[in-house]
A and B are shown apart, each in its own frame.
Chain A
């Protein structure tokens, strides 16, 4: 059994990757203690942060108008405005199997069936439908040697059951040392398959199913967020670094919450992709006892979440990816296709959240979203328009609490062909809309509201004349976007504010380490939920 041996080879990546990152400079190697110290220096009290919020509030007023400003407006929703250079792949939904509860992770069995971790149950899903397979409140699942392994979201305990047996009752794996499991991978050791597990602050553990024994997988203390095994290398993501077994470590300021899509080159080097809240990092490692080197970064927008072979989830988007190597042999990732989908939720239009995705299998992609599992066919795409818009909030003036209020709706064309808007409608007569031609818009021809050039944006104004207490309107935008010809967003005034007595629901959100959480996860605790923004 191999263990990670810390060789003390560190390299500091200067700057946050949102600003483009940078190549690792070996001259900036620092001792181990420095990496830890940089974190400690940043610690401040929560009260101290609150002291800065008056600035945040002012920033909000500057950008979109405070709630006290007459006629102010603000857009909902996140995501980057970045547009990929080439989009030549289209996701076409082949099958959509919806489940009755939140989904957190999926794994594929040898017969092609998908096992999906749900809020309460673990499901067996095929393109013909889904069946509850066993109790399983998990967010990590894997199939190894025809046996299903999954964790518990609440306890982190690991369970297993045979897929060839008659019983669907899972049994706990190992002993009480197996807890707080974040993810696990199959670890072939020459004699059979073992499981190597990222156990958060407890580091790495290795489970041998033959002897039913558990051993430490690392000689060094670390917080293991993710472990990946490929091409003879075991690579661990921590909150602030990437670690290679029997090799070195490279500090990444925003950490590595997921590691995937490893490739090896002719010279024995390995390239792989890590994710963090800022983007994807392409790492390279060569030679004996290699240290990973940051080669390039990609910030696709939203919250980069998982990366697998040829595909990734960026929280509210699925991305098809491809390697690209320049003349100097420097590897980078390019986005070749995007897919997003909205649905109508009470009082809002919500994005599907893609919580897990499997390796691309030729032209098929299987992904889990927050309420189900989708099968996609990947098709070649010619130059097409791609519409994107965000929900709207119309803010009331304090002097005229009932209105009026207006907001500008931004329509982005993230595609490569002109976006032709043919109709805009709102299902609530309490709202009005109007469009003036502006930069990026062309004079409308017959039947066109506006045309938005590739990579550009168009605007229209939504007005709430006033008079009512609350109003929600669904705005439908008809266009020539082949995937979303009827695009919906929500305009809302006087959202019914959460008040004492409101019951916290199971709204899924990714945490900083790439895990999917909801406030309801802390049932039984008294939760103080404190909101921050970056303004």
Chain B
């Protein structure tokens, strides 16, 4: 969805998705690389350096899904850590598009 719909629309305005694969199960990382590697940066966080910093830990938190929207000045503006919507038709995170357009000033 992001590759097909978001990048063509928002890419020129400065939208940059980045995939972070965490853990040492590199086979899955390779799968991601084959799927997205030519289109999106794929960081291999093999020793959980980034996850140690960005994971959400607490009573109401889940490990995944986990995503952040970061503005042009490298400041986190939105944290997405809500459980998935089981409705496959719904966009997830629900507010990503709205949040993105606001940061891109579109």
A residues near B (Cβ < 8 Å) are 16, 18-19, 39, 42-51, 53-54, 56-57, 60, 66-68, 76-80, 201, 223, 239-240, 253-255, 276-278, 301-303, 315-316, 348, 350-351, 353, 391, 393, 395-398, 401, 494-495, 497-504, 507-513, 517, 519-520, 522-535
A47 touches which one: B2, B21, B72 (CB < 8 A)? B2
Q: A19-B27, A315-B46 are in contact. List 13 more A-B contacts (CB 8 A).
A: A78-B46, A277-B33, A303-B24, A494-B58, A497-B61, A498-B76, A504-B74, A510-B44, A519-B18, A519-B74, A527-B18, A533-B63, A534-B25
Closest 10 CB pairs of A and B: A534-B28, A534-B25, A47-B1, A78-B24, A525-B16, A512-B33, A303-B46, A78-B47, A46-B2, A398-B59
Within 8 A of A (CB), among B56-70: 56-70
Minimal beta-carbon separation of B83 from chain A (angstroms):
8
A67 and B46 form a contact (CB under 8 A): no
Minimal beta-carbon separation of B2 from chain A (angstroms):
4
B43 touches which one: A79, A501, A503, A510 (CB < 8 A)? A510
Known interface pairs A395-B57, A527-B16, A531-B67; A503-B75 also in contact (CB < 8 Å): yes
Known interface pairs A46-B36, A60-B64; A401-B25 also in contact (CB < 8 Å): no
A67 touches which one: B52, B63, B68, B78 (CB < 8 A)? B63
Q: How long is the Cα–Cα vector from A68 to B59 in the complex, in angstroms?
A: 6
B59 touches which one: A239, A253, A401, A504 (CB < 8 A)? A401
B21 touches which one: A302, A523, A532 (CB < 8 A)? A532
B18 and A16 form a contact (CB under 8 A): no
Residue among B15, B52, B58 having the largest count of chain A Cβ atoms under 10 Å:
B52
B44 and A277 form a contact (CB under 8 A): yes
Across-interface contacts of A511 in B (CB, < 8 A): 41-44
Who on chain A is nearest to B102 by CB?
A526
Q: How long is the Cα–Cα vector from A503 to B27 in the complex, in angstroms?
A: 31
Minimal beta-carbon separation of B71 from chain A (angstroms):
6
Q: How long is the Cα–Cα vector from A523 to B103 in the complex, in angstroms?
A: 14
- Cβ-based interface call for B31 (8 A): yes
Within 8 A of A (CB), among B12-27: 13-27
B68 and A45 form a contact (CB under 8 A): no
Who on chain B is nearest to A74 by CB?
B63
Minimal beta-carbon separation of A35 from chain B (angstroms):
12
Within 8 A of A (CB), among B67-104: 67-79, 83-84, 86, 88, 91-92, 96, 100, 103-104
Across-interface contacts of A253 in B (CB, < 8 A): 30, 34
Who on chain B is nearest to A396 by CB?
B59
Q: How long is the Cα–Cα vector from A524 to B14 in the complex, in angstroms?
A: 7
Identify whether the interface residues of A are mostly helix, strand, loop, or mixed. loop
Known interface pairs A503-B75, A504-B76; A278-B27 also in contact (CB < 8 Å): yes
Minimal beta-carbon separation of A166 from chain B (angstroms):
38
Who on chain B is nearest to A75 by CB?
B48
Minimal beta-carbon separation of A71 from chain B (angstroms):
13
Q: How long is the Cα–Cα vector from A353 to B50 in the complex, in angstroms?
A: 13
Q: How long is the Cα–Cα vector from A88 to B62 in the complex, in angstroms?
A: 44
A528 and B2 form a contact (CB under 8 A): yes
Across-interface contacts of B35 in A (CB, < 8 A): 42-44, 49
Across-interface contacts of B17 in A (CB, < 8 A): 46, 527-530
A526 and B41 form a contact (CB under 8 A): no
Who on chain A is nearest to B2 by CB?
A46
Minimal beta-carbon separation of B76 from chain A (angstroms):
4
Complex A-B: 9 CB contacts under 8 Å: A39-B34, A46-B36, A51-B88, A350-B49, A353-B49, A396-B58, A517-B41, A522-B16, A525-B15
Q: How long is the Cα–Cα vector from A260 to B5 in the complex, in angstroms?
A: 40
Minimal beta-carbon separation of B48 from chain A (angstroms):
5
Known interface pairs A43-B35, A46-B17; A67-B44 also in contact (CB < 8 Å): no
